[in-house]
Amino acid sequence: MSTDYTDHRLAIMGAGVMGTNIAALALGHGIPVVLVDVSEDVLAGARRTIAQKLRHAQLMGVLPADRPQGELMTSLSPHDVADATTVIEAVTEISETKAQVLTEVSQIVKPGTVLISNTSCIPIDEMAAWVARPDELVGVHFMNPAYLITMVEIIQGSGTSDTTMTAVTELLTALGRKGLVVRDAPGFVINRLLHPLINSAAMLVAEGVASVEVVDGLLEGCLGHSTGPLRTADLIGIDNLVDSLNVLYERTGDERCRPCDLMLDKVKEGSLGRKSGRGFYDYDRGI
């Protein structure tokens, strides 16, 4: 691996919110991307989303001006990742789904290919049992939007090799990102703190203590949060949050991580956040 962006070929498994975010980041830094999903309709939508994100990134001036944009290839076949130097798994936060994807990919890629999981909460050591070479597996928690947020959380499993850690650092440098390394645990640092906070904020709204706008306004105005927890929930995707909270609750027993009824109701009615046009806020009406 190298910090030279031309030496990297990235494959991303999963064309959802984070898959398209990471793809836009890589393409904007000149790195070619193979994006794999199970639906051509999803991939068609992903191509449009990535183009929008790249335009936004260019308008914000956050992409290197001296690099040509990387080439995007989309595919329905995991076998198209065989020549990647790094594969990033960015599928939904459900153990069975991640296990299926990581098991298959680890058998396709060549030894020495780094496998990154963009896991929200599932421990890396748990995932290590699913791959052919556990020493090549590491967690990298990109934030949304990945092309704007320059810090990432790196999760080193007990079996993650020093070679893999060096390779990940080099890739992140080529992407213009900085990482802080944490030890493996359910939810790691960011989501072990953030997800229960969002769940508690939703509980306060459900109990009638305050409106969505007031809860967010207080955390922004009093605590200096750039975005309140409930607008953050809409950005992440409320369905993704519920999946992650379930992972945390199952693995820690922390009652703060049991998804509250308001969050569950929003998922049932399809109010998932920005991606569906409505969540805690109504984006169809621009609020």
Tokens of 72: 């995007």
Nearest one of 148, 185, 140 to 165, comparing CA atoms: 140
For 10, 39, 56, 141, the CA distances from 29, given in Å and listed in that order, are 12, 26, 14, 18
* CA R_g for the chain: 19
Tokens of 236: 């992440």
Tokens of 237: 């995707």
Cα(126)–Cα(185) distance, integer angstroms = 10
- Among 8, 56, 79, 141, the active-site one is 141
Cα(204)–Cα(212) distance, integer angstroms = 9
For 23, 52, 155, 184, 203, the CA distances from 72, given in Å and listed in that order, are 8, 14, 27, 32, 41
Known catalytic residue: 8?
A: no
Cα(211)–Cα(202) distance, integer angstroms = 9
Q: Is residue 146 within 8 Å of 22, Cβ to Cβ?
A: yes
Helical axes 238-252 vs 261-268, angle rounded to 10°: 140
Q: Is residue 46 within 8 Å of 19, Cβ to Cβ?
A: yes
Nearest one of 262, 204, 85 to 271, comparing CA atoms: 262
Catalytic residues: 141
